[in-house]
Amino acid sequence: VLAAPDGRVVLTTDVMVEGPDFRRAWSLPAELGWKAAATNLADVAAMGARATGLLVALTAPGSTQVALLEGIADGLAAACAALAPGCGVVGGDLTRSPTLTIAVTAIGSLDGRAPVLRSGARPGDVLAYAGRLGLAAAGLRLLFDAGEADVAAVQRLRAERADLLAEQLAPSPPIDAGPVAADAGATAMLDVSDGLLLDATRIARASGVVLDLHRAALDADVAAVRAASGLDLQAALAAVLGGGEDHGLLACFPADVPLPVGFRRLGDVRSGEPAVLLDGDPLAAAGWDSFAAEH
């Protein structure tokens, strides 16, 4: 039973399937639950809403150990407690299937705010971001390099690059920044699920504007990726621009309002044919597309 004081409810859903979305060789059960919650909480936050509950539909092979399911449940609860206090699992379903999948539907309340869509950015706005960029993709790249079969290599990676892998396996996006951005007057917002360029392109197209990213504004992100992963400059920049799974909040704000705490300026919003530029130069919209190729 939904109680929505202003009559509007925010809903989002995101499914994680073993194989395309996660590998048991890389993730602990609690990390799977954490990530399933965090990705959905970020989608609620990107509307300017506060998450109030999760519905979780889980499928697993009949041979699955109960401890695995308990671990997933623990991770879901821990992520809610850490990222969206007051939110928790309110229902769901469990059934047998050859494939382990975790499908989460998140419910959110706008608490009287107007929803922040992708389509409201206007020329003259400031493009800003809350969260980290590129680290999740860099962590995934190191996991792919280690492979699935070499258990020792994965364990060594988990020990040596724990912080970096956490960005990929159990991310902590700035969920509370969503309602804060809405209150500050954000004109457009989404969470960066599929890569900065691709998600910025979604705002540019929906709003009919040009988003011009400042390369210098990404220097700290590129440096952080290089320091945490050992990737070279080009690979680090590619992770920052196109990596995906950052789940930070990309938002536009009117130029005359102070950026809310947690947000930093990444660029400008201008008029013109919808596009994303880097220091004024066109960029191809690279990013994650589930159907682009076999992953």
Sites of contact with Mg ion (CB under 5 A): 43, 191, 193
Q: How far is the CB of 42 from Mg ion (least distance, A)?
A: 5
Q: How many CB atoms lie within 10 A of CB 30?
A: 21
Pair 276, 204: CB distance under 8 Å: yes
Cα four-point dihedral sign 201, 205, 206, 212 = positive
Dist. CA 72–CA 30, nearest whole Å = 5
Q: How far is the CB of 6 from Mg ion (least distance, A)?
A: 24
Q: How far is the CB of 266 from Mg ion (least distance, A)?
A: 18
Nearer to Mg ion, 202 or 226 (CB): 202
What region, left, alpha or beta, does residue 186 occupy, with left being phi > 0 and alpha being psi -120 to 50 degrees? beta
Closest chain position to Mg ion (CB): 193
Six-digit token pair at 17? 């399937």
Nearer to Mg ion, 109 or 193 (CB): 193
Pair 123, 270: CB distance under 8 Å: yes
Q: How far is the CB of 206 from Mg ion (least distance, A)?
A: 15
H-only helix segments in 84-148: 135-146
Nearer to Mg ion, 125 or 191 (CB): 191
Nearer to Mg ion, 59 or 193 (CB): 193
Q: How far is the CB of 43 from Mg ion (least distance, A)?
A: 4
Dist. CA 95–CA 226, nearest whole Å = 42
Q: How far is the CB of 3 from Mg ion (least distance, A)?
A: 25
Pair 9, 2: CB distance under 8 Å: yes
Pair 37, 175: CB distance under 8 Å: no
Nearer to Mg ion, 18 or 191 (CB): 191
Buried b (16+ CB within 10 A) or exposed e, 74-88: ebbbbbbeebbeebe
Nearer to Mg ion, 168 or 193 (CB): 193
Nearer to Mg ion, 64 or 172 (CB): 172
Q: How far is the CB of 191 from Mg ion (least distance, A)?
A: 4
Query: To the nearest 10°, the Cα dihedral for 55, 247, 250, 174?
Result: 80
Q: How far is the CB of 235 from Mg ion (least distance, A)?
A: 24
Q: Please give the sequence-ordered ranges of beta strands (E in DSSP) within the chain, or none if there are none.
A: 9-17, 50-60, 89-96, 101-109, 126-130, 188-191, 210-213, 249-253, 264-270, 275-278, 281-282
Nearer to Mg ion, 79 or 235 (CB): 79
